[in-house]
């Protein structure tokens, strides 16, 4: 697909204008309106340098293609990991499972805290990258919709930034609740639905510089809560890390960076849950 940067800029300026309504400083609002009028007044297509060629991929294809560059700096992970660490650092070490582990970043975190860790993922390519980094974690192919473990056999289950790719939260959350023991913990993170609703899908760059993307699904907090209740999970904590200046500074293009600062700063970027299976 061919993505025009002017569409993104229009959306960001519009979001900034809407966020300020009706109490925004009039001059700031006028600046946003002028930017929108300028973009809309140019009937010509943008220069080719402002058109991105992006391959639209399904989740399996995307993560196979993304595996070699997945561990490059990622502002979503930078926002999510401190909250996840805060939720797992006080757990008593035990037998832990990291579901949809990717290259194993959360599995390695659990291992560093003294847990015996099994990490599963549906992508052989992502697992291969993880195996090359840490021999203390046991990696295996596995589907988050059907976990190969006995009921109540694990102390901790984590799943980071993966459920946004499933249409229905209920089955994978029920599976994670099933395999954790009563009183054990499930720790989940995801991209925040507000971020997805404002255009944050899974974009990535390959080693050769080409780009790909896969769709993120919107799951509102109430949908998570309903799935937790149905699975017998009790909410012990919830964090909503926000878009911060680190995210803004990572945007290479100046006009987009300026518009993002006005529109996205301090909106929720990630959603992190600490859950306990009811006894």
pLDDT in tens, 7-61: 899 999 999 999 999 999 999 999 999 999 988 886 554 554 578 899 999 999 9
Instruction: Determine the Cα–Cα distance for residues 168 and 116; give it in Å rounded to an integer.
Output: 30
Tokens, residue 255: 């006009």
User: pTM for the full model?
Assistant: 0.94
Instruction: Determine the Cα–Cα distance for residues 68 and 33; give it in Å rounded to an integer.
Output: 41
Q: What is the pLDDT of residue 48?
A: 43
**Residue 166: is its pLDDT beyond 60?**
yes
Tokens, residue 224: 């998570």
Maximum CA pair distance of the chain?
A: 64
Domain residue limits, the chain: 1-56, 57-246+269-277
> Is residue 117 within a helix (H) or strand (E), and if so which, with residue range?
strand 116-121
CATH code of the region 57-246+269-277 = 3.40.50.150
What pLDDT digit, counting tens, does each position of 212-246 carry? 999 999 999 999 999 999 999 999 999 999 999 99
The least confident of 7-21, 43-57, 62-76, 150-164 is 43-57
Tokens, residue 65: 């293609």
- Does residue 254 or residue 108 have the better pLDDT? 108
């Amino acid at each position: 697909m061919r993505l025009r940067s002017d569409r993104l800029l229009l959306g960001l300026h519009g979001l900034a204008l809407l966020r300020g309504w009706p109490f925004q400083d009039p001059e700031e609002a006028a600046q946003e309106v002028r930017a929108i009028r300028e973009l809309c007044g140019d009937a010509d297509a943008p220069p080719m340098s402002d058109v991105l060629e992006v391959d639209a991929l399904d989740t399996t294809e995307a993560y196979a293609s993304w595996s070699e560059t997945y561990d490059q700096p990622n502002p979503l992970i930078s926002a999510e990991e401190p909250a996840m660490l805060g939720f797992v650092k006080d757990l008593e070490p035990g037998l832990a499972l990291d579901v949809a582990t990717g290259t194993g970043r959360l599995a390695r975190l659990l291992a560093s805290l003294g847990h015996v860790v099994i990490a599963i993922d549906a992508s052989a390519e992502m697992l291969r990258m993880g195996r090359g980094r840490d021999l203390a974690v046991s990696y295996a192919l596995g589907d988050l919709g059907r976990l190969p473990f006995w009921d109540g056999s694990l102390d901790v289950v984590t799943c980071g930034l993966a459920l946004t790719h499933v249409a229905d939260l209920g089955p994978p959350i029920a599976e994670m609740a099933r395999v954790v023991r009563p009183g054990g913990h499930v720790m989940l993170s995801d991209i925040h639905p507000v971020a997805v609703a404002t255009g944050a899908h899974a974009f990535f760059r390959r080693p050769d510089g080409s780009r790909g993307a896969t769709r993120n699904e919107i799951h509102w907090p109430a949908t998570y809560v309903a799935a937790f209740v149905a699975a017998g999970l009790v909410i012990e904590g919830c964090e909503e890390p926000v878009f911060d200046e680190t995210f803004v500074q990572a945007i290479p293009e100046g006009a987009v960076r300026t518009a993002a600062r006005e529109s996205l700063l301090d909106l929720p970027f990630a959603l992190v849950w600490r859950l306990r299976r009811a006894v």
